[in-house]
Amino acid sequence: MYKPALLLVIASPLIAQVDDPEPVVVEVTRGVLDVTLGAEGSAVATNPAWVTSALDSTVLHLVPEGSLVQEGDLLVELDTSVCEEELQVLAVELVEARVSLDVTAAGIGIAESGVAEARLDGELEAAMVELETEEARLDLEEAEAAGNAPRVRLLQRRLELLVLKGESVERRSARRAREADAVLFAARADHEDARRALALMEARSADARDRCARGTLRAPRAGTVGYVQMARGRWNEAGERGRWIEAGESVREGQRLVEIIDLAAQHVELLVEEDRIAELAVGMLTEVVWASVEERAKGRVSRIGLIPDSNWWWESEGQRRYRVHVDLEELPVGLRPGMFCGALIHLGKVEGLIVPIQAILQDERLGPVARVMDGERKVRRPVTLGPSDGERVIILEGLEQGDRVLMSPVR
């Protein structure tokens, strides 16, 4: 559970490296130690609302950071001149597309009239041929009844010609109908193309209007406005790191610009090294001290990260750090997100032999040692360290209750 070597490392800044000329003698006692784990972190806004750019554009206006806003209030205005110019061009093209749609609709009407006319013309010609044929049959019957052989031969020939004429009229009418149908088909295809072109123009116009509308960003909820840093963790051309967003900046679609935070809803996030994370549990009491706020705070561990934080591994001598979420009982006055803090997480109580950390020295050969009084002699005795509360440490091996050890002042 506890790692003595680690505790020694934690305690080592407090361990004197040289003997004090006038040491204080303390007695090794058995007692109960409230074991704590020290960690550093900062205040974090709970559930902030991020406002992102909906365009690749340039910032024209920003509300001042720290402003109190209500839901729907204006936050950011982006340059929408490009989409506004596009809207003007599309407006002209939209009119042309609607005119084209009307023209092709009229073309369909003309083509349909042509189809009807071709059908009527064919029917009329066929009817005339049929009439002529009927007249020729009647004349033939009269000539046969009168026994006029020359006339009979003439009328029979005429009937043969009328049959050929009827077939010719039928073929011609069918050809005209096909041509009229083809014209109608082409007119309908042109109308469909015009309809699709109009729908595309309307969609492009709607998209341009939407992009123009997205140039105005409003508060999704009430809260306090905080700016988001640009190029976080990188050096810009001016040698600045983590510049704040400002008017005139070029931004990308999807880029975070501002956040809306509730200053009454903040928690603490601590960074704990990987070889101590197993000692923590949800619900542990945590005392928090702020670098910029005099008022101390108490809270409880509410969540322990499962994935190491990727931003700090290079500062931890190869060890990963995990984020530990602490809910505060009361927020100190003046607390802001990002304020640095130190914290003591109470891991629990451990019973054992206890000495002050100042009674432990670091020997290059023996490791941690205690200087034990043996009569008038000072004997260095190797010890095995247990958990610590930052001021006192449990001795697992090397000392016995009642032993008198020498203290060394912190240097």
pLDDT, residue 391, reads 85
- CA dihedral (317, 318, 323, 326) in degrees, to 10, reads -30
Mean pLDDT of the chain: 86
Mean pLDDT of 315-342: 87
Pairing of strands 367-374, 216-218: unpaired
Mean pLDDT value across residues 63-78:
93
Lowest mean pLDDT among 93-102, 304-313, 326-335: 304-313
Name the strand (E) or helix (H) holding 361: strand 360-363
- Digit-coded pLDDT (tens) for 235-257: 444 444 456 778 888 889 999 89
pLDDT of 237 reads: 45
pLDDT on residue 36: 87
Cite the beta strand spans of 2-123 per DSSP E.
24-27, 29-45, 49-52, 57-62, 68-69, 74-78
Q: Which residues pair with 298 in a beta bridge?
A: 287
**How far, in Å, CA of 405 to CA of 231, rounded?**
55
pLDDT of residue 370 exceeding 60: yes
Residues with Cβ within 8 Å of residue 345, at least 6 apart in sequence: 36, 37, 38, 39, 270, 280, 284, 285, 286, 301, 324
Residue type, 283: G
Kindly state the average pLDDT of the residues 90-111: 94
Q: Which candidate, 12, 10, 16, places its Cα nearest to that of 40?
A: 10
CB 122 within 8 A of CB 226: no
The conformation of residue 22, written as its DSSP 8-state character, comes to S
Mean pLDDT of the 79-104 span:
93
Task: With cut-offs at 50, 70 and 90, classify the pLDDT of residue 218.
Answer: very high
pLDDT in tens, 280-300: 999 999 999 998 888 899 999
**pLDDT tens digits, one per residue of 3-60:** 443 333 333 333 444 444 566 899 999 999 888 888 999 999 999 999 999 889 999 9
Q: Which domains are present in the chain? A: 4-46+263-407 (2.40.30.170), 49-80+220-261 (2.40.50.100), 82-213 (1.10.287)
Average pLDDT for 260-270: 94
Cβ atoms of 268 and 299 closer than 8 Å: yes
Q: What is the pLDDT of residue 7?
A: 38
